[in-house]
Amino acid sequence: RYELLKSIQKEDVVPDVVEDIPEDITEVPEVIAMTSVELYGMIMAGGNGLFLFDCRSKDDFRASHIVFENCLNIPESAIMSGMSAGKISSLLSPADVAVWDTRGQYECIVLMDWSTAGVVPVRNTPLWIMMDIMQNYDPNVQYKRLTILNGGYEDFLLRFPMQTTNSRAKPPVSVTKDENSLEEIEYPNIEDIAMKTSFEVHPSFDRSTKAAALVTYEQKEKLTHDIQRQQEHLAEKVLTVEKERFNAEKVWEELHAKELLSAEQEKREQELLYNIMQYENQHKDIMAENERLKQQLSEIEAGVEETIAARIRDKDRERQLLQEKREQMEAEREEKLRVAREQKKLLENKENHAPVFNRSNKPQNIIFPQRGLDNFNFVPDTVERGLTGLQNLGNSCYMNSIIQCLGNTSSLIDYVLSDCYRKHINPKGNTKGRIIEELAAVLKALWAGRYRFFSPLTLKQTIGAVYGMFRGTEQQDAHEFLTILIDLLHNDLQTISTPRNLHENLPKSESAWLAFTKSRESAILRLFYGQIKSTVKCKMCGKESATYESFSNLSLELPATNARCSIENCFDMYFNGENISGWNCPTCQQSRDAVKKLDISKLPPILVIHFKRFSAGETSQYHKKQNFVNFPLMNLNLERYIARSQKNSPKIYNLYGISNHYGTMDRGHYTAFCRNSQIGKWFKFDDQQVSPMESGDVQSSAAYILFYTFLPLDAVKNSF
Active site includes 669?
yes
Amino acid identity at 176: T
Within 10 Å of residue 217's Cβ, how many Cβ atoms? Answer: 10
Give the span between the Cα atoms of 646 and 644, in whole angstroms: 5
The active-site residue out of 397, 420, 570, 674 is: 397
Q: Quickly list H helices, 257-305.
A: 263-300
Give the span between the Cα atoms of 113 and 215, in whole angstroms: 58
- Parallel, antiparallel, or unpaired: how do β-strands 614-616 and 622-624 relate? antiparallel
Does residue 110 sit in helix, strand or coil? strand
Does residue 588 sit in helix, strand or coil? coil
Contact 594, 585 (CB under 8 A): yes
- Return the bridge partners of 653, or none: 636
The active-site residue out of 65, 424, 661, 669 is: 669
Amino acid identity at 542: G
Give the span between the Cα atoms of 559 and 582, in whole angstroms: 27
Longest dimension (CA), the chain: 91
Q: 552: closest CA among 617, 613, 602?
A: 602
Give the span between the Cα atoms of 424 and 497, in whole angstroms: 11
Give the span between the Cα atoms of 285 and 283, in whole angstroms: 6
Give the span between the Cα atoms of 459 and 246, in whole angstroms: 37
Q: 710: closest CA among 549, 558, 571, 602?
A: 602
Q: What DSSP line would sit under 132-174, residue for residue?
A: HHHHHS-TT---S-EEEBTTHHHHHHHH-GGGBS-TT--PPP-
Give the span between the Cα atoms of 140 and 269, in whole angstroms: 49
Active site includes 585?
no
Cα distances from 541 to residues 327, 576, 593, 594, in angstroms, run: 63, 21, 10, 10
273 Cβ partners below 8 Å, 6+ apart? 252, 667, 669
Residues recognised as catalytic: 397, 669
